[in-house]
Structure 1
Amino acid sequence: MTKRFSSGCMAVVFIALTLFLHPARAIAEPTIRIGVSSVVEVDPFVRHTLKELSEAMSDYPLVFEVMPPTQVLSASKKREFDFLIVGPQTMVLLDQLGLAHAIASERSSFSNKADHALALTIVKHKITPEADIARVGLIGPIDSVKGTLIKEVLSSKRTLAEKVQVNYFDSLKELIDSFKTGTIDAMALEPCTLEKNLTLLKNVIVIRETVTDIGQCSISQASYPKTQFAALNGVPADLTDTVAATLKTIFYNGHSTWVPSVSLLPIRHLLEKHKVKEYLAVQPMSIQHLLDRFFYFIVTIVGVVLLFVIHSFLAEVTVRKQTNKLLEIQHAKEEAERDARDKQSKMESLERLNIVGQMSSMIAHELKQPLTSLENYLNALSLLVQKEPQDKLMMEYSISKMIESNRKAAEIIDHVRQYAKSAKSIRTVINVSTLAAKIFRDFEFRTKIEKNLLIQFRASIVPNIYVEADELELSLAIYNVLKNALDAVKSKENAQISLEVRSDGSNCMIVVSDNGESLSNEQKENLFNPLRSSKADGIGLGVAIVKRIMEAHAGRLEFNFGREGLSAILILPMCSQV
């Protein structure tokens, strides 16, 4: 015989009593089997519902059976019941499996809305940081929805809400004692429990506090649908209507009652968010489920597609309007590029002519030595020819020296011609110390003797610093900065020009300094600008030429502006002596 329902989760059978009181009708009416989840069986409202159903439907044989939520699912699959009273999570699973549908939802005593019937008041000590809460106490039995609800309330202050441990207690006294002794960090109470026990609970605060619309009791912010009364799919519609109509007449505690079923979508979202495994394991792939689960996502995708279509149409119109403008801009750009290339070509030609012009004075001085040697050896050879007997060995020596001097002069001229024709530079390992010293001595001699200028020259040269460079181009760069220094001081008394060659271990630095007049801001800004010269007879290409030579050799040109004069610094990477 089925056990009578009691606080010890017992079932009650009214079949014998019904047959005795109404034998004729009892045989005619079918037996109504109602399964009750053990999670909701302890709720006074559910117990009151069972009692009221037994009295209101006394003409029907009623059988109630209490069982854990997991057994509710298996029993429903076997169709062992007609109706079920379950928590919201079990109702979601039943609906997903297509086993049952809700016909009524509980409206609690503290809210006018059935979808806010499930709420908790989570309290903590005032001095306990919310982020440090790791253990929360709750009056049993084990309820996964309430446990998930606790994690939802605390999730705003935690990176992993799953770290919260929920402990279940048999009574409110045990729960409060554990809270006071520190066994748990917070308590999850039923709504209005805090207000009824203010003398026992002091120096506590409610996490994410809000108030109920009935009774103005403090609760934590999140609230959801609660107990559901469900009919298994396939139960006759008239029987379902009879039970639903009876439920509407049941009231408890002045306000709690059954109302038409509400949407359980918030419960679905809660279970999804916290990845409750029981929920994830039984998700059916139906169109309705997909709509329920991904409604906002689908709406978003549709909206994005519509926006994309509208944007594409507007973009097409805009493109057509802008095509002609873009073509005009492109034509103008091509024309500007052609003009720029022409100007650049002219500029390079002008620079190269200027370089060749500057080279001429250097080369003239360089050619003096081989030409003078050639002349001397010719004179010596003339004397040897007239001398008797003739010194054949000395004549051969003179002829070889003449050939050597001629070849040296030809090499100098060929190098200049190659550079003028844009030939590639010829790079070799050069002793910068020796080259700079020679150019500086020659420049000093020509300045003092040929130009008759009284200028003090000073040199400080670290010996044997080597770089890989084109000797002619490097000579031209050094000559240019020396010439600029001379132009700056040639009209000044106590004029000075100094040369310093040093290294920092990886770079060679050739520093040419003068004590001429300091440069204005405009002159500093235009220092690297071709065709902008402060000299009346200059075209401003000297610095640009030196800069280009330095950059072609992976180096750079820098300036140091002092109170008086200017220092030009040629920086080149060093190399090892070959």
Structure 2
Amino acid sequence: MLRRAQALLCCLVLGSPAAGAAPGPDEPVRLAVVNSFGEAVSLRYFSETVDAIARAVAPRRLEVHEYEPSSFLEGAQKNKFDVTIASAGLTTLMLEQTNGSALLSLSTRRAPNPNKANGTAVIVRGDSPVQTLADLQGRRLAIVSRKAFAGWQVPAGELMRSGQNPEAIFSSIREVGMPMENVLREVKTGRADVGFVITCLLEELEESGRIARGEFRLVAEKKDPDFACRHSTALYPGWFLSVKPTLPAADARRILMEVLALPPSPRRGVYWTVSSDRKPMRDLFTLMNLEPRKPSVANFIQRYKGYFLGALLVLLALFLYSAAITRITYRRTAALARARERQLKAELELKRSAQTIDSLEKVQAVGLIASMLAHELRQPLVVITNYAQGLRIRLSRGPVDRGVLMSSLDEIEAAGERADEIVEHVRNFVKGRRSRPVELDLGQEVEKIIRTFKRHCRSGISVAFEPCPGLSVRADPVELGIIFMNLLRNSEEACLKNERDTPGRIAVRISRSGERAVVRVQDNGPRLTDEVLERMRKLGRPSSGEGLGLGLGITRELAEGCGGSVSVERCEPRGASVTVSLPLSSSSAQGRSN
């Protein structure tokens, strides 16, 4: 297969007889391939792609040229190619500097997510004592080039995020050039202690038998469910297929259609798709001060503006010091006058700020009241609407059983009474009247709320309840109902996002912790991301699209009004848990002491 791929590339560079005999322009289409893996591996990966591009541009000839990262960027500046296959980082730099468009991103069986298909393996020999990034201090490093994306920029950014200087941590940094197998040879022979290589290279070489399994080991190895290759860094988009403005749009369209039509390769599952997230690469470029810009006087000034500013400040300080010696008396008098003027302005500004804050607090209060009313009235209004529509449908079909009619009217009446209680509660809040807490059996109240939730829950989600008898709290029953109905609805929304083969489950458990009652509502919804968990913990801040901010915000306000608290935790391997802690009433506390 390797010889066939080599013969294919040679034929494409020279032009096949059929292509040369076909009519059309004599100008060839020039394809640039960055050789990061090594010639043999690169040919195995891209031979089918090169073949598809040749078919797309026929009858024009396709010339294929291999580049290293440094010569690749120089070739782009000189318009030496029309189509490129290169790493995402090199492609981004090249397109920003010389224009063009990235069409497709490479995915494989090992990296099915095109946004997480490339990274770095920080490698040492299998018998090396190095285990963590901190152990790299004073070691000898081998890399292909400082211009390589996965070979230098990605691991250097990883070291910078851990608080280390990639240029200072190593005793020496040796650039050995392409292919990247040179780095492995340096580490294997002991001329280097550690090396940076692109992900999946170790697996490719082990499968082909060119290196032994266990001959090399990774430092600070990470795990990712979307990536099967060993890696030590964050992951970025993989290889990009891009076109330059020198390629006609019709040829670019045919290349796109031809390459997309390629099936995944039988052995490695290599295919082309679309990458949707390039932000991690731009964040890395910003961190390392590698923003892709064309060289210019403005860029030079921007890069060294700190030095210019420092020199200017030194000159300004010398000038001010010289002037102060001759005008010190005048300046002190003027300074006192300015200080008095600033004091008067500050006092006036303070008064204006106090008035502004008072206005903002009133606006915020009105907003909270309106949001709370709209949020809490939705559930009883939905119940009333559903039962009314159901009765209308039943009546349109003929007489309705009196028992069914009375049961539906009871539900409508109960929902109406709950809506009235909510409106009355909000009216009292607006008028500044405090709620009237009464002593309630917490287990009975929560069980009643769960029964109401089950009656109106049509999603088939199961609710398990584990009470703790004998716990009483002082609270407003309406507020208590709002607290736990909100938590049950939030858990229901989370469970509805599960896959079809994962039934939704909610568990409610009551326990006692000292002089407080603890109610824990846990669901088995999808695993929370760090971003969603952070938003849930910042209770009261509305979150777009999640339905978590307002409900939890009201829950927190009402729980704290009862002297309680609310906390949110992520459950493993999936789901979330919200814990409400409420102070026990005096009777429950005395009962324990007796």
The structure that has the greater radius of gyration is 1
TM-score normalised to the size of structure 2?
0.40
